[in-house]
Amino acid sequence: MARYRLTLEYDGRRYRGFQAQDNLPTVQGAIERAVLAFSGQTLRLQAAGRTDTGVHATGQVIHLDLEKAWSEKTVRNALNAHLVDEGVVVLDAALAPEGWHARFSATERRYLYRILNRPAPPGLDKGRVWHVKAPLDAEAMDQAAQVLVGHHDFTTFRDLQCQARSPIKTLDLARVFRLGQEVHLEFASRSFLHRQVRSMAGTLVEVGLGRWTSQDVRQALEARARTACGPVAPAAGLYLTAVSYGLDETPKA
């Protein structure tokens, strides 16, 4: 049995999230069908995280165990051949050491949230950005985002259906900056609560619009109440961009 670490890129618009669901299109379902077509093996893969409906990825990481030790290039190319009609691409395949796990071995996950900030709606990027017409103050948003950095109880930014045992997380990075007509929000943490990033992004947009201040964000965080959260940003602008595994970034058997 050989364990492979795969790095994925996918367009979340056509899927009902990552996790496999009966009779619904999902990223996991697409990959597992490709594995079956390629190897004849039925399996259940493991992922670094489960993205929601409409959320994209440029650096999702998964692992799967194959009964035959194929070459890494063969695994990548064969899966991509069977995914050609899907919105999923295998960017890289590598043999993983014994005991390595896509989810439990991860030390950091990074997300990007893209906001198109102009009067005109998106043409090419419809479904890939959140369109906000009114001008956003990215500097004010970045200042307010620093309130969220650190070890906190993030109940305010936690979805009511979140199944995490604890709302306490450590946010290592929160950064907001303007890039042309877009405002980008970057977040990094070992792990996130369900819809935490979208909840933080929506709240920070309130700051960018001049409706909230940094102090309002602090009070919302300290309230530890979901009702204190600002609007939740739509899924369209969210991307899982990277998953880190400490010093061992390219595992080999």
Are 28 and 92 contacting, i.e. CB atoms less than 8 angstroms apart? Answer: no
Indicate yes or no: pTM above 0.85: yes
Q: Using CA atoms, how far apart are residues 44 and 81, in angstroms rounded to an integer?
A: 20
Among candidates 107, 80, 92, which has minimal Cα distance to 191? 107
Are 141 and 204 contacting, i.e. CB atoms less than 8 angstroms apart? Answer: yes
| Span 138-195, pLDDT tens digits | 999 999 999 999 999 999 999 988 888 999 999 999 999 999 999 999 999 999 999 9
Domains of the chain are: 2-105 (3.30.70.580), 108-242 (3.30.70.660)
Burial of 22 (0-12, 13-18, 19+ CB in 10 A): exposed
Q: Which of 11, 22, 52, 248 is catalytic?
A: 52
185: helix, strand or coil: strand
Residue 44 has pLDDT above 70, yes or no: yes
52: annotated active-site residue: yes
Are 233 and 113 contacting, i.e. CB atoms less than 8 angstroms apart? Answer: yes
| Span 187-232, pLDDT tens digits | 999 999 999 999 999 999 999 999 999 999 999 999 999 999 999 9
Q: Using CA atoms, how far apart are residues 30 and 232, in angstroms rounded to an integer?
A: 28
More confident residue, 163 or 55: 55
Question: What pLDDT shows up at residue 253?
Answer: 36
More confident residue, 248 or 147: 147
* End-to-end Cα separation, the chain, in angstroms: 12
